[in-house]
Amino acid sequence: MFSRLDILNGPIINCDPRITRGFPEAFYQFVVSRLELPKRVLTADLLDLSNYLAGQAGFGEAALQAGIDTAALLEAIEALPFTERLMLLDAAEERHPMW
């Protein structure tokens, strides 16, 4: 028997881009780490997530330190549908809770 919470969480859990499209773990961890204030991310920001992230201060330097190819990362983000971007935001909210 499913609870209502299970049903509501299902779409988010089943939209993990690491599973659905082979989004590299390094990209996943990097994006989640950069979404430090998830409650302030607007729908428009998610729709344009690659530019939102690339426009952050220190983005390029942080990517370089993490060994992330920024062009490949931004291209991979562009390929994500909204639901998978939302899942990244959900993961960021878990990692960076705002009480």
How confident is the model over 15-73, as pLDDT tens digits? 899 999 999 999 999 999 999 999 899 999 999 999 999 999 999 999 999 999 999 99
Q: Which residues contact 7 (CB under 8 A, 6 or more apart)?
A: none
CB 46: neighbour CB atoms within 10 A? 18
- For the chain, what is the total number of helices (H) and then of strands (E)? 8, 0
What does the domain layout of the chain look like in residue ranges?
4-95
Full-model pTM:
0.86
Per-residue confidence at 9, pLDDT binned at 50, 70, 90? low
